[in-house]
Structure 1
Amino acid sequence: MKPIISAEHFLLIGHILSMAFGLAGLLIVLPNPEFVVNLPEFGKTAFAWSMAGGGVVYMLLATAAVAVYAYRTLGLWHWLGFMVPAIALSLCSELLGTSTGFPFGHYRYLTGLGYKVAGLVPFTIPLSWFYLGFSAYLLARAGLASRQIPNWVQYVGAIAFGATMLTSWDFVLDPAMSQTTMPFWVWEQPGAFFGMPYQNFAGWLGTGTVFMTVATLLWKAKPVTLPRTQLGLPLAIYLSNFAFATIMSVAAGIYIPIFLGVILGVVPAIAFYQLARAGASQAAMQSSDEMVATEITEIASVKVPIGVMPK
């Protein structure tokens, strides 16, 4: 078990460092060509690699980190029960969107995010739907499970909050990534929300809701024990990716989406994390009290035979 946890930490750290390296390239190196010219050969090679495949690497590392974590804490069925519909349905949604404009609006991907499926959607995009969607959904599910509410309310709430938290990340990411010095996608029909159509958010919310609903139904096929005290990785994935998007937005002079993302994404993510931990602590204390009460009852029920006195 320890090697698996070490692998999770290694992949998570690699993911965060890759994002930081990518930010440095996009915000410091790329806007200053003279900086690139003065770099040593090693620096020029690293910069070229970063521009060509940096986005692919950080998404692959995040996908691997979340996959290993999900397998360790939830098991094979629940890991694949979320990952397969998340990747498959989001890919279908993206292919439909880039082909017809539904459900996100008219847009197209440029270079920098890897091989494109059907020449339209980079293969890394459905992976990002998986690792961000899983992190958001699990935080919401574990937090709600710590409350004394009916199961169906937990399921519906986890889907609603999970999809909203996923969409909130896109509030911040999409405007900046489509308007940076080196954009990764463009809107062929710009909208009113910092260049994006409002339809985009409906598409994100709808796509997230669909694959989270499918995952919820698949998870019901087998009992699941939610990792209430081991939610550090999904929280780190969510917050680090939100921080990446925030820095990109600040650099582009875009602030309102950050405020919306914090209210609808960051605050609920941290709140659910704290609720899950508090619920686990309360359950542990209750279990301890029950064990003590059981021991007292057992001791009190011991009968000493008449005429037999302890020495």
Structure 2
Amino acid sequence: MGRVMNVERFCLIGHLVSMAFGLAGILLVAPHPEFLSLLPAGQMMFRWSMAGGGVAYIVLGTIAVALYAYRTLGLRNWLMFMIPAIGISLSSELLGTSTGFPFGDYSYLSGLGYKISGLVPFTIPLSWFYLGLSAYLLARTGLSRRLPQFGWLAQAGAIGLGALLLTSWDFVLDPAMSQTTMPFWYWHHPGAFFGMPYQNFVGWMGTGIVFMTVAVLLWGKRSPVLQAADLNLPIVVYLGNFTFAMVMSMAAGFWIPIVLGLLLGVLPAVLCWRWGRLGQMPQFDSAGVAEMASDEVGSLNVAPVPSK
């Protein structure tokens, strides 16, 4: 697993760095092309980043989360989440770009890679997977350890909360990415919420709930149990992607989506991360268990048994 963790860490760092470079390109270089003259091969680097930067950060994030899932959840549980997440989200996106249901009337532009059926970039369902899994694992682990007495209700709540965390990311992502100087998609009929129709959020919640529910049903009794340290990558991925979208919205002056995203996304995500860590049961190896048992037995006051 050492090599897997190294590749996972490399891809996670690359994912975060790619988003930082993307922000610099969209917010600094695109409005001020004179910056390119200060860099060697600046024009070539900018063209490459605009053509492949969006694809790179999503692919790197997908690989990082996929390796993490393989390492912590196991091959079966990883695939039982990834396949529904990608398949159902792609179906929703194809339906949305064709009919306007469930998100509204919109179309993707260039910059996010090859379009499946000429409609949906292949990177879009990948982003549903890696953000969806990160959001769900945070919600599931946090609620199950904070509210263990509620059993299946806590698990059902985790699906709803996971979908809400996913949708809250879109609060800050969609207004900026569709209205930036270099947009990646556009709405045919701009809606009332900073250019988005409210229907879009219903579509996000519904799609997230459906694929998370399918994944949980496929997991069945083999549901994973995460350790405290296992929550670090999901929270880093979630906060990193939220920050990317938030900075874009800040640059556009969209403050209400940011506040909503912080309250409904970042705050519960961080709380779930903390609950998951604080609720962690201590782990012992075999020597530690034996030593603890010996100490416990030695500390007992055993009354002498009277002999006949």
TM-score calculated relative to the size of structure 2: 0.92
CA deviations 1:231-263 (Å, max 9, x no partner) are 111100000000000100011111100000000
Which stretch has the larger CA shift, 214-223 or 133-142? 214-223
- Alignment correspondent of 2:50: 51
Work out the number of aligned pairs and report it: 303
CA deviations 1:45-91 (Å, max 9, x no partner) are 11100010100000000000000000001100111111100000000
Deviation, 1:115, is 0.1
Distance in 2 (alpha carbons) for counterparts of 1:244 and 1:299: 55
Q: Is the 8 A contact 2:59 2:123 kept in 1?
A: yes
Q: Structure 1 unaligned segments of length 5 or more: list them.
A: 307-311
Distance in 2 (alpha carbons) for counterparts of 1:125 and 1:272: 26
The one-letter code sitting in structure 2 at the alignment partner of 1:48 is R
- Alignment correspondent of 2:208: 208
Deviation, 1:229, is 2.8
The one-letter code sitting in structure 1 at the alignment partner of 2:4 is I
SS in 1 for 2:222: coil
- Alignment correspondent of 1:80: 79
Distance in 1 (alpha carbons) for counterparts of 2:299 and 2:275: 36
CA RMSD of aligned residues (A): 2.5
Q: Is the 8 A contact 2:77 2:223 kept in 1?
A: no
SS in 2 for 1:212: helix
- Alignment correspondent of 1:236: 236
Deviation, 1:289, is 9.9
Distance in 2 (alpha carbons) for counterparts of 1:137 and 1:243: 19
CA deviations 1:155-201 (Å, max 9, x no partner) are 20110100000000000000000000000000001000000000000
Q: 1:230 to 1:40 in 2, by over 3 A?
A: closer
- Alignment correspondent of 1:126: 125
Matches within 5 A, 1:261-280: 261-280=261-280
- Alignment correspondent of 1:60: 59
Distance in 1 (alpha carbons) for counterparts of 2:299 and 2:263: 53
Which stretch has the larger CA shift, 229-238 or 98-107? 229-238
- Alignment correspondent of 1:309: none
Matches within 5 A, 1:12-161: 12-36=12-36, 38-40=37-39, 42-147=41-146, 148-161=148-161
Distance in 2 (alpha carbons) for counterparts of 1:207 and 1:130: 11
Deviation, 1:43, is 1.6
Deviation, 1:299, is 8.2
The one-letter code sitting in structure 2 at the alignment partner of 1:251 is A
Q: Is the 8 A contact 1:98 1:121 kept in 2?
A: yes
Q: Structure 2 unaligned segments of length 5 or more: list them.
A: none
SS in 1 for 2:107: strand
Q: Is the 8 A contact 1:95 1:120 kept in 2?
A: yes
Q: 1:163 to 1:97 in 2, by over 3 A?
A: same
- Alignment correspondent of 1:186: 186
Deviation, 1:9, is 1.4
Distance in 1 (alpha carbons) for counterparts of 2:15 and 2:184: 19
Give the fraction of aligned pairs with identical amino acids, expressed as a percent: 61
SS in 2 for 1:108: strand
Distance in 1 (alpha carbons) for counterparts of 2:289 and 2:3: 34
Q: Is the 8 A contact 2:96 2:102 kept in 1?
A: yes
Q: Is the 8 A contact 2:144 2:155 kept in 1?
A: no
Deviation, 1:303, is 9.3
The one-letter code sitting in structure 2 at the alignment partner of 1:87 is I
Deviation, 1:32, is 1.6
SS in 2 for 1:91: helix
Distance in 1 (alpha carbons) for counterparts of 2:266 and 2:254: 18
- Alignment correspondent of 1:174: 174
